[in-house]
């Protein structure tokens, strides 16, 4: 399939089924598999394609945090792909990938893959934009693989986070579809 045809089909699918866009600010406390604490924050942008009850969701994230195990700060960028649905109460689940730059004596890159699930609830309507503000929890689990090829099973670096999510659904034209 040519690139132009794929873009045309994507736009046509959005017009038929609906689409949405959102921005999120997320803050988390976490623990790794060795019991060491950490904290993390992320800013994310997501786009959804499909009906209100079930949409394909994809997004990009940037952020950073502190790991007690590493005794270091880190910055990250990542992507998430999954599904979402709902109107006043929304849910989302998906797989994620992130690349962390650990700022220690030298910058060390670490890859992480994982899963996340969240439930958010509307608390402010923005009628002019047909948008809403949502608030709710998110749970995530990630396995970190450093650039030397060590997996979480050998390094003990599984990360578990409990997040607080503030989400601004900037537009949602799948309402009523």
Top pLDDT among 147 and 82 is at 82
pLDDT interval class at 16 (50, 70, 90): low
Q: For the chain, how are helix, strand and coil distributed in percent, rounded to 5?
A: 10, 70, 20
pLDDT (tens digit, 9 = 90+) per residue, 127-143? 776 688 999 999 999 99
17-53 CB burial, b ≥16 within 10 A, e <16: bbbbbbebebbbebbbbeebebebebebebbbbbebe
From first CA to last CA, the distance across the chain in angstroms is 28
According to DSSP, residue 149 is labeled: -
pLDDT interval class at 22 (50, 70, 90): very high
Q: Provide the pLDDT for residue 108.
A: 83
Q: Provide the pLDDT for residue 152.
A: 44
CA distance linking residue 65 with residue 22, whole number of Å: 22
Average pLDDT of 108-124? 93
Q: Provide the pLDDT for residue 155.
A: 57
Q: To the nearest 10°, the Cα dihedral for 70, 40, 84, 80?
A: -50
- On average, the pLDDT of the chain sits at 85
Q: Provide the pLDDT for residue 20.
A: 85
* Residue 9: other Cβ atoms inside 10 A: 11
pLDDT (tens digit, 9 = 90+) per residue, 29-78? 999 888 899 999 999 999 998 888 888 999 999 999 998 887 889 999 99
Distances (CA, A) of 6 to 10, 12, 13, 54: 6, 10, 10, 21
CA distance linking residue 106 with residue 67, whole number of Å: 16
Q: Provide the pLDDT for residue 135.
A: 98
Average pLDDT of 102-126? 89
Residue 53, helix vs strand vs coil: coil
Top pLDDT among 49 and 6 is at 49
Residue 151, pLDDT > 50, answer no
């Amino acid at each position: 399939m040519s690139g132009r045809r794929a873009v045309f089909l994507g736009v046509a699918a959005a017009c038929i089924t609906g689409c949405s866009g959102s921005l999120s600010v997320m803050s988390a406390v976490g623990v790794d598999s060795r019991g060491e604490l950490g904290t993390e924050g992320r800013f994310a942008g997501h786009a959804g394609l499909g009906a209100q009850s079930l949409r394909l969701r994809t997004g990009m994230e940037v952020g950073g945090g502190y790991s007690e195990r590493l005794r270091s700060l880190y910055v990250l960028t990542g992507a998430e792909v999954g599904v979402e649905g709902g109107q006043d109460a929304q849910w989302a689940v998906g797989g994620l990938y992130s690349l962390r730059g650990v700022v220690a004596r030298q910058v060390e890159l670490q890859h992480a893959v994982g899963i996340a699930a969240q439930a958010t609830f509307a608390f402010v309507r923005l009628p002019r934009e047909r948008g809403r503000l949502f608030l709710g929890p998110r749970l995530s689990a990630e396995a970190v693989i450093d650039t030397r090829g060590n997996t979480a099973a050998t390094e003990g670096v599984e990360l578990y986070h409990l997040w607080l999510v503030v989400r601004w659904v900037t537009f949602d034209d799948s309402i009523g579809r």
